[in-house]
Amino acid sequence: MAQPLYLNHTIEAIDLFCGVGGLSYGLVNKGINVVGGFDLDAACEYPFLANNYGAKFFNKDVSIVQGPELLELWSPGLLSY
């Protein structure tokens, strides 16, 4: 049987196509730690950061985002890979 991916019970999310952060805001309100948001529209940065304290905003096309870049956002020890 495969080992579970999560090593602890913390749930973290990365919001792709985050816009101003509405989905992230809802996730945070339900106890999920949003560690970052990616959006191509630079105008989304201020409202995303204002709505989601502690998350990082990346003004970047998600089609060029690589796995290692996403892995760096997760808390140390959260994932096993």
80 vs 40, higher pLDDT? 40
Tell me which amino acid residue 46 is: Y
pLDDT at 24: 97
Contact of 18 with 42, CB cutoff 8 Å: no
Residue 31 φ/ψ region, left for φ over 0, alpha for ψ in the -120 to 50 degree band, beta for the rest: left
Instruction: Give per-residue pLDDT as tens, 21-66.
Output: 999 999 999 999 999 999 999 999 999 999 999 999 999 999 999 9
Q: What is the DSSP letter of 64?
A: G
Query: Domain residues of the chain, as ranges?
Result: 14-60
